[in-house]
Homo-oligomer: A and B are copies of this chain.
C-alpha cells in the first residue's frame, strides 16, 4: 500500500497527517519538508521507547541534526503536573529553545503531556506527533488538544496547540495489546456514528479485517477517521461549537471512568458503553431509530467492546456528569444522534428521558 496524506487546513498553522504501513523504516517516506528542525527531543515512555525510539531517531537524524530523548513512566496516572514539571526541568537542563522540536512518541498520555509541554515551554515550541496506539492515531494526536489531568478531573489543564506534522506508522499497532486495540476501535466507530454513515457501513463489512489488523483495512479506517476529524477541527478549532460532536458517548463515558475509578475500564471501553447510553437517549427523544441503535450495538459487540454501562446508580451518574467540564453556564450539554451518521449538540434534552435512560444503570 502507498502512503496516504491528509492536510489539516488551519491557515498558517496547517499541517499534514502522513499514514503509512511502516513509515520510519522505508526510505524518503518522511518528507524532509516536514522535518525542518535541526534539533529533536523525543518524549516517550518506558514501554514504547525501547520498541521504537531507535528507529524513529535514525529516521530523524541526518548530518547536522541531533536527536535526544526524555523518558516518562507509562500510565494515565503520570499524565500529571509532576510529570509535566519533570519534562520542563529536562528541557531546561538540555537548554532546549524555540528552535527545538518536541517529538511525542507514544499513545494518548505521551501525546497530551508532551504536546502540552511543547505548547507552554517558552510559550510554545514546535511539535511533531508520532502516535503509537490506535486511539492516539485516530483521535488524540490530531487536532491540537493537549492536556494534563488534575485530581479534580481529566484534562482540566491544557491548551489547543497544533503540531507541525503527525506521522502515523501502522506497523506500530502490531505490538498493541488486544484490549487496547479494541478500545481504540470505539473511537473509530464514533466517527461513523456521528458524521459518516458510509464509513459506518464499511466498518460493518470490514470489522474482521480490522480486528486481524490488516494494513489495507487499517490504513483506510485511520485515513477516514483523520479526514473526518480534520473537517471538524477546521470548522471549530477551539471547541466553541461543532467540535463538541466528537464528545459523543464521552460525557457518559467519563462518568463511567470516574465512577469506577480511572484505569478500571479503558477510555474506549467507557466510550463504547457511553455511546449506547447516548444512543438510547437519542431513540427515546424520537430521533435515532431502534434498528440503528441495534446496528451500533451489534458492531460494538462484534469488536468485543462493552455495551452495558456499569450499574453505578442513577444519581451517581448525574452527579458525575454534572462535574464534567462540558457543562456550560451550569447546563449539561450532550451529543445525541439524529440518525446513524449525523449528530448534534444540545442542552435542550428532556431531563426525564435522561433519568429514564439512567434507570438502566440503577444498582
Q: Which of B95, B124, B153, B156 contacts A160 (CB 8 A)?
A: B124
Stretch at the interface among A172-180, A250-258, A323-331: A323-331
Q: Tell me the minimal C-beta distance from A322 to chain B in angstroms.
A: 9
Partner of A158 from B39, B122, B153, B329 at Cβ < 8 Å: B122
- Binary per-residue interface labels of chain A (304-331) against chain B in the complex, 1 for a CB within 8 Å, 0 otherwise: 0000000000000000000101011110
* A38 close to chain B: CB less than 8 A: yes
Q: Is A123 a contact partner of B160 (Cβ separation < 8 A)?
A: yes
User: Residue of B at shortest CB range from A152?
Assistant: B92
Q: What 0/1 readout, one digit per residue, does chain A (137-160) give for beta carbons within 8 Å of chain B?
A: 000000001110010110111111
Contacts of A99 in B (CB 8 A): 328-329
User: Which residues in A have some Cβ–Cβ distance to B below 8 Å?
Assistant: 38-39, 81, 85, 88-89, 92, 95, 97-99, 119-124, 145-147, 150, 152-153, 155-160, 238-239, 323, 325, 327-330
Identical copies in the complex = 2
How far does the Cβ of A70 sit from chain B's closest Cβ, in whole Å? 16
- Looking at the assembled complex, report how far the CB atom of A117 sits from the nearest CB atom of chain B, in whole angstroms: 9
Contacts of A98 in B (CB 8 A): 325, 328
Smallest CB gap from A123: residue in B:
B158
A153 to B95, CA, bound (A): 11
Please name all residues of chain B whose beta carbon is closer than 8 Å to the beta carbon of A160 when the two chains form the complex: 123-124
A116 to chain B, nearest CB (A): 8
Inside 8 A of A328's CB, which chain B residues have their CB? 97-99
The 4 closest A-B pairs by CB, nearest first: A123-B158, A92-B152, A99-B329, A99-B328
Interface contacts beyond A89-B152, A123-B239: sample of 20 additional A-B pairs, CB < 8 Å, sorted by A = A81-B81, A88-B157, A92-B152, A95-B323, A97-B328, A119-B159, A120-B120, A120-B157, A120-B159, A121-B157, A122-B156, A122-B157, A122-B158, A122-B325, A123-B145, A123-B146, A123-B159, A123-B238, A124-B160, A159-B159
A190 CB to closest chain B CB (Å) equals: 20
Residue on B nearest A329 in the bound complex, by CB: B99
